[in-house]
Amino acid sequence: MVDLSRRRLFTRKTASEDTLRLPWLNTPKFFTDLCTQCGECLKACETQIIVKGDGGFPQVDFTIDECTFCYQCADACPEPLFLSKQEAPWQAKASINEQCLAQRNVECRSCSEMCESVAIQFQLEVGRVAQPKLDTQLCNGCGACVSVCPTLSINVSNFVV
């Protein structure tokens, strides 16, 4: 166990607070105060998406694969960083930027095909190829749409832009 109040004195914030760290974090703002960088979550992740990010702290990288919400990172962590599995894993949502091929009038539906939550639907538009419509209510931030996008146009973050 780590003395939170003591560590906070010495810890410098090393990444912006919108960095998507791990699912089920109980206090994302204070993650870097409590995480010891032991690496147990990296070893436990079944899709191997947890990498050492800015400052050596773990964060998910959806360009590798998706989060299956298996909870193994939380189970492996020796620190009191995680909520119970019954809680929502995070508020993260996907957003699609202007690099999207469909928005540039090139036929592509790769993201939609990967989304089990049916959060991305394509709608026909006059004079253009079908356009992606993202329903943030349905999106659970799993990241499955990220690595399949040929132009890496999808970002998953805690703040929807």
Which residues contact ligand SF4 (rule: CB under 6 A)?
Answer: 22-23, 35-41, 44-47, 49-50, 58, 60, 67-73, 76-77, 79, 81, 94, 114-115, 117, 119-120, 139-145, 156
**Residue 130 main-chain phi, psi, to 5 deg:** -55, 140
Looking at 11-154, list the stretches that DSSP marks H as alpha helix, in order from N- to C-terminal side.
31-34, 40-44, 72-76, 110-114
Kindly state the smallest distance separating residue 150's Cβ from ligand SF4, in Å. 15
**Neighbouring-strand partners of residue 93:** 157
- 73 or 108: CB nearest ligand SF4: 73
Q: Which residue has the tokens 């206090």?
A: 27
CA distance 67 to 57: 18
Please, which residue, 53 or 129, has the CB nearer to ligand SF4? 53
For the annotated binding site for [4Fe-4S] cluster, the residues are 35, 38, 41, 45, 67, 70, 73, 77, 139, 142, 145, 149
C-beta atoms surrounding 144 within 10 Å: 24
Compute the least distance from the CB of residue 104 to ligand SF4, in Å. 19
Enumerate the known binding-site residues. 35, 38, 41, 45, 67, 70, 73, 77, 139, 142, 145, 149
Alpha helices in the chain (DSSP H): 4-10, 31-34, 40-44, 72-76, 110-114
Q: Which is nearer to ligand SF4, 30 or 126 (CB)?
A: 30
Please choose, from the candidates 140, 153, 16, the residue with its C-alpha nearest in 3D space to the C-alpha of residue 66.
Answer: 140
Q: Pick between residue 77 and residue 108 the one whose CB is nearest to ligand SF4.
A: 77
